[in-house]
Chains A and B, each alone.
Chain A
Amino acid sequence: MPIQYEGIKKEHEAVRTRAGLFDVSHMGEILVEGPQAVAAIDRLVTNDVSKLATGKALYTVCCNEQGYILDDLIVYRLEDEKILVVCNASNRDKIVGHFAKNLSLGTPWNDVSDAWALLALQGPNAVAVMKDLGAPTSLLELPYFSVTRTSVAGVDLWAARTGYTGEDGFELFCGSEDAVTVWRALLEAGQAHGLQPVGLGARDTLRLEARLMLYGNDITEETHPLEAGLGWVVKFGAGDFVGRDALRAIKAAGLERKLVGFEMVGRGIARHGYPIVARGEAVGEVTSGSPGPTVGRNIGLGYVPLALAKVGTALGIEIRGKVVDAVVVRTPFYKR
């Protein structure tokens, strides 16, 4: 996946106003099967997979015993006894190793990352593009965070109503050998709908505006889901999971810091790693920052002490030795 095809701003705008096509085949995919599949995955992630109906998907994190984040995942229940776990490419080996260690022998699993391709069609015109390709109503009307077996451009694949842009759209899982066929068909059908191929650069600005986490930046093995604002995917009341006791203890002790969204008030662009300062003192670090092409402001995310996490709090971002004013704002920065 290139950084850009025709320019980050142009590609970003295409996804917000028309449609964009991403080749995100680098993502990791693990299939877990058998009567124990649901229970086995449920024990490895913080969200409640036991209540996940067939044909539905959920967002979750996978923690270590200390409650810190190994990766964020989307778990799809493809069939009653067939679960698809999508992880970040950079974490594939780690997650595969973690699963291998923790899944019992009676639970067959398979890392299909190389055999599968993943194409994401995102944007308000995504449905229209699919319609022109002759997609069945069941796909056009597929609810958000659902998945179905269907056929696109003559290729049998799994289609999900998920994405990483804050827009409506589909993610299509097909065999690598069929990816070019599907890609070309989507590009062609998309011509009439302003569809544009989109690279990593716009993928990052789109997800940041929607406050979707980037592993390695906003969440890492040094952060836990409660401070990252991901408490909603931690289901203490459901069954046991790796990291549950540690997270309970962290919750009981009270949070020290929180991931907040901010926008620049002064002239400057915050970037990953820049210090966040308050009253002359470094209080945190920017985890993600860039111009927000749709919101029209320079935005970012970063961890700050709880006392500085309230919307409206004045912060400073140290940009190459100079402190530039910023303010904590409500997130997501953009909502469709």
Chain B
Amino acid sequence: MATYPRNLQYTREHEWARIENDVIRVGITAYAVEQLGDVTLVDMPAPGEDVQAHERFGDIESVKTVSELFAPVSGEVVEVNADLESSPELVNENPYEEGWLVIIRPSDQAELEGLMDAAKYEEYLGTLDG
């Protein structure tokens, strides 16, 4: 199994979150990328919109399928990765850097406590089929 970056937090829906001062940057994990295959379109909220923790905030499409994106925490979207509009394949190429999705300003810092660290996420993946 791949090892996951130690500096990130993870959700059961296979998003990662990186705390950057008072905002968090969000993307999908290598596991999610592997499941999706070639990403062809990412549909995300506009900056200024609010998202709710563990609720759908957008969709990500690969050649074969559509998956929902879930917010790791509640808050306001402050930025979306505009590069993905013309180059959705960045998600495949580097899901933790150029392939990030959105930056959220959390409304409740306590929600961050509910995320998994890399070791816990890897353990969680071990419980999934395939």
Contact with B along A2-21 (1 / 0, CB 8 A): 01100111100000000000
Are B64 and A269 touching (Cβ within 8 A)? no
Q: Which of B21-56 contact A (CB under 8 A)?
A: 37-38, 40-41, 43
Are A9 and B38 touching (Cβ within 8 A)? yes
A290 to B66: give the CA distance in the assembly, Å: 10
Are B41 and A201 touching (Cβ within 8 A)? no
Q: Chain B: which residue is nearest A7 at the CB level?
A: B38
Set A267, A268, A293, A320: member contacting B63, Cβ < 8 A:
A293
CB distance from A329 to the nearest CB of B (A): 19
Chain A interface residue count, CB cutoff 8 Å, equals 18
CB distance from A253 to the nearest CB of B (A): 38
The yes or no answer to B117 lying at the interface (CB within 8 A) is no
Are B63 and A290 touching (Cβ within 8 A)? yes
The yes or no answer to B122 lying at the interface (CB within 8 A) is no
The yes or no answer to A205 lying at the interface (CB within 8 A) is yes
A37 to B61: give the CA distance in the assembly, Å: 48
Q: Point out the residues of chain A lying under 8 angstroms from B66, CB to CB.
A: 269, 271, 320
Chain B interface residue count, CB cutoff 8 Å, equals 11
Contact with B along A281-313 (1 / 0, CB 8 A): 000000000110100001000000000000000
The yes or no answer to B59 lying at the interface (CB within 8 A) is yes
Q: Point out the residues of chain A lying under 8 angstroms from B41, CB to CB.
A: 267-269, 291, 298
Q: Point out the residues of chain B lying under 8 angstroms from A293, CB to CB.
A: 63
Q: Chain A: which residue is nearest B61 at the CB level?
A: A269
Q: Chain B: which residue is nearest A200 at the CB level?
A: B64
**Most chain A CB inside 10 Å of its own CB: which residue of B41, B61, B63:** B63
CB distance from B82 to the nearest CB of A (A): 13
A-B contact count (CB 8 A): 38
Set A3, A4, A291: member contacting B40, Cβ < 8 A:
A291
Q: Which of B61-90 contact A (CB under 8 A)?
A: 61-64, 66
Q: Chain B: which residue is nearest A269 at the CB level?
A: B61
Q: Point out the residues of chain B lying under 8 angstroms from A267, CB to CB.
A: 41, 43
Contact with B along A31-67 (1 / 0, CB 8 A): 0000000000000000000000000000000000000
**Most chain A CB inside 10 Å of its own CB: which residue of B41, B43, B59, B64:** B64
A205 to B43: give the CA distance in the assembly, Å: 22
Are B37 and A7 touching (Cβ within 8 A)? yes
A271 to B40: give the CA distance in the assembly, Å: 13
A279 to B61: give the CA distance in the assembly, Å: 27
Are A8 and B61 touching (Cβ within 8 A)? no
Set B37, B59, B62: member contacting A320, Cβ < 8 A:
B59
Are B38 and A8 touching (Cβ within 8 A)? yes
A201 to B63: give the CA distance in the assembly, Å: 8
CB distance from A217 to the nearest CB of B (A): 14
Q: Chain A: which residue is nearest B65 at the CB level?
A: A271
CB distance from B77 to the nearest CB of A (A): 18
A330 to B41: give the CA distance in the assembly, Å: 24
Contact with B along A71-92 (1 / 0, CB 8 A): 0000000000000000000000
A contact residues vs B (CB 8 Å cutoff): 3-4, 7-10, 201, 204-205, 267-269, 271, 290-291, 293, 298, 320
- 12 contacts across the A-B interface (CB closer than 8 A): A3-B37, A4-B37, A8-B62, A268-B41, A268-B43, A271-B66, A291-B40, A291-B41, A291-B63, A293-B63, A298-B40, A298-B41
Q: A9-B38, A204-B64 are in contact. List 15 more A-B contacts (CB 8 A).
A: A3-B64, A4-B37, A4-B64, A7-B37, A7-B38, A8-B37, A8-B38, A9-B63, A10-B38, A201-B63, A205-B63, A268-B41, A269-B66, A291-B41, A298-B40
5 closest residue pairs by CB, A with B? A8-B63, A9-B38, A291-B40, A201-B64, A269-B61
